[in-house]
Structure 1
Amino acid sequence: MESQLILRKATPDDAKQIIAVYTPYVTETAISLEQVVPDITEFATRITKILQNYPYYVAQDYQGNILGYAYANVYNSRACYASTAGTSIYVGQDNAHKGIGSALYMALEKQLKKQNVVNLLSIVTAGNQPSKQFHQNQAFKQVGYFLHVGYKFDAWCDVIWMQKTLNDGRRYPGELIPFSKF
């Protein structure tokens, strides 16, 4: 499938199709702990804000259908954390295990290195073994486990924090270069 993919920067105009990928994760699962699906305007605003400083990519087929997306975002707004970014990835449920997620993360990581990001953090809902395994396959390591930090579908949810270091992590690479500069 990877050879049939087009990876590109997301735009606010992609919001409708991105929501179509994201909606089942919100309405049917605790994979996303978000409780209400954002409307198109809200999602377009999120994309615009993220793209100021971080990459936001979509994977689409040759017909223009968005199959998945991944982005990085601020981990913590304090300057000392600028070399660390949070990551999120969602692939359409009928397109899982086709290499789309790996292709998206590869593009994301390549760009983030150019921006002087050293550490990636991803939050996985405990019990979401496919996501945990995916992140481990991408060389993320589990670094934290938090009990009862989310509440959805009348139940408490635990979350796992996973981390990947993009370089040896010993030298400071310099300040974050905003994605908008590329």
Structure 2
Amino acid sequence: MILRPAQAADAEAVAALWNPVIDGTAVTFTTTRKTPEGLAADFAARGPAFLLAEEEGRLLGFATFFAFRSGPGYARTLEHTILLAPEAQGRGVGRALMTALCAEARAQGAHSMMAGVSGENPAGLAFHAACGFREVARLPEVGFKFGRWMDLVLMQKFL
């Protein structure tokens, strides 16, 4: 397995991994599908802050970070997204991506990393806890998808 920054040529594969999660799960509250064009722009803007894991040319997953909130007072707090292909889960791919992502965030001067995890995603909560994140807030019924309200769990890790 190798970890590397995403490139424009990866956009189709990332969209193919991400869109079924958007369409069919409560892991994310968004209903807006990712486009290759939008993803390529994100890759260019984020550079080494958008990492891919691949094996023999197959995408295993990705992790990226971005500003937690706008404004200079929040500049050293980041939020991230991480997503793995089903066949990559339980193989250490997520931990490797998270370790590399946090290292990149530290190198860019970040103080803490936030995770916004759906309350309906116990595997995501357990993964983040195992990676050193701790729950700092539970926001009841702030997400709405599939005709129901869902909780958002905020988790934080100091870098």
Partners of 1:49 and 1:41 lie apart in 2 by 12
- Percent of aligned positions with the same letter in both sequences? 28
Q: Does 1:128 pair with 2:124? A: no
Q: Which has the larger radius of gyration?
A: 1
Correspondence 1:155-170 to 2 at 5 A: 155-166=148-159
Cα shift readout 1:99-151 (whole Å, capped 9, x = no counterpart)? 11000011111111111111000100002100000000000000011111111
Partners of 1:66 and 1:127 lie apart in 2 by 25
- Name the amino acid aligned to 2:144: Y
Q: Which residue of 1 aligns with 2:35?
A: 39
Q: Which residue of 2 aligns with 1:49?
A: 45
Partners of 2:42 and 2:150 lie apart in 1 by 25
Partners of 2:138 and 2:75 lie apart in 1 by 23
TM-superposed CA distance for 1:94, in Å, is 2.4
Q: Which residue of 2 aligns with 1:153?
A: 146
Correspondence 1:69-80 to 2 at 5 A: 69-80=62-73
Q: Which residue of 2 aligns with 1:59?
A: 53
Partners of 1:119 and 1:149 lie apart in 2 by 23
Which shows bigger deviation, 16-25 or 131-140?
Answer: 16-25
Q: Does 1:16 pair with 2:9? A: no
TM-superposed CA distance for 1:78, in Å, is 0.7
Check the 8 A contact 2:26/2:120 in 1, yes or no. no
Length, aligned pairs only? 159
Which shows bigger deviation, 89-98 or 131-140?
Answer: 89-98
Q: Secondary structure at the match of 2:124?
A: helix
TM-superposed CA distance for 1:46, in Å, is 2.4
* Aligned with 2:100 (options 94, 98, 107): 107
Q: Secondary structure at the match of 1:58?
A: strand
Gaps of 5+ in 2: none
Across the aligned residues of Structure 1 and Structure 2, the Cα RMSD in angstroms comes to 1.2
Large movers: runs of 4+ above 4 Å:
none
- Name the amino acid aligned to 2:65: A
Greater fraction strand: 2
* Aligned with 2:89 (options 89, 96, 102): 96
Check the 8 A contact 2:119/2:153 in 1, yes or no. yes
Which shows bigger deviation, 99-108 or 23-32?
Answer: 23-32
